[in-house]
Amino acid sequence: MIGLAIDIALWLIVAAMALAAAKRSGALMRGTARQGGLEFLQLLPRIMIGVMGSGYIAAALPQDMVGQWLGDTSGLLGIAIATLAGALTPGGPVVGFALGAAALKGGAGAPQVIAYSTAWALFAFPRLFIFELPIMPVQVVWLRVVASLPVPFLAAAAAMLLGKP
């Protein structure tokens, strides 16, 4: 139900933006829609690999080790391990989320999982080297990394303060 509502909301936004573009010119609207569609087609194989594959990566995880290293009692060390693991995870669109969800089911603590998915989102080294460094000025990338270093720990700490959902 929520999934459907989100779909409808997203497509309403698309319709509104297409209308705004069409008001300027029909050609602009069609050209832009075509470009968006082409980007989608380019993403498709990658998403397919990411989604289909992340299930297998998650299934291949040794669950007992996850519980032991990242469980609720693993504390600050668990958060540090989760942060490092997140940074080393390949930066596909879903790999980090899939692994985090699998770890959560496998007995990892919620703050540890949050540290993991936050570190993955911020630092995933493969994505950093493949996408960000070629596109952004080098100093800006390293400035961002240094300024973000404490963030996975802060997110985990905030999650602990807030308590479980």
Residues numbered 32 to 51 that lie near other proteins (CB under 8 A) are 32-43, 45-51
Which range binds other proteins by CB under 8 A, 16-24, 71-79, 80-88? Answer: 16-24
Q: Are 84 and 122 in contact (CB under 8 A)?
A: no
* Half-sphere exposure in the Cβ direction for 17 (13 Å, CA): 10
CB of 107 to other proteins, least distance (A): 15
Q: Are 98 and 54 in contact (CB under 8 A)?
A: yes
CB of 74 to other proteins, least distance (A): 18
Q: Are 50 and 95 in contact (CB under 8 A)?
A: yes
Nearer to other proteins, 43 or 77 (CB): 43
Which range binds other proteins by CB under 8 A, 54-62, 66-74, 78-86? Answer: 54-62
The answer to whether residue 81 forms part of the interface with other proteins (CB under 8 A) is no
**What whole-number distance in Å separates Cα of residue 9 and Cα of residue 25?**
24
Pick out residues in 85-114 that bind other proteins (CB under 8 A): 90-95, 97-98, 100-101, 104, 110, 114
The answer to whether residue 3 forms part of the interface with other proteins (CB under 8 A) is yes
**What whole-number distance in Å separates Cα of residue 31 and Cα of residue 34?**
5
**What whole-number distance in Å separates Cα of residue 144 and Cα of residue 161?**
26
Nearer to other proteins, 82 or 122 (CB): 122
**What whole-number distance in Å separates Cα of residue 54 and Cα of residue 60?**
10
Provide the token pair at 141.
């990338």
Pick out residues in 125-154 that bind other proteins (CB under 8 A): 126-127, 130-132, 134-137, 140, 143-144, 146-148, 151, 154
Q: Which of 52, 77, 88, 138 binds other proteins (CB under 8 A)?
A: 52
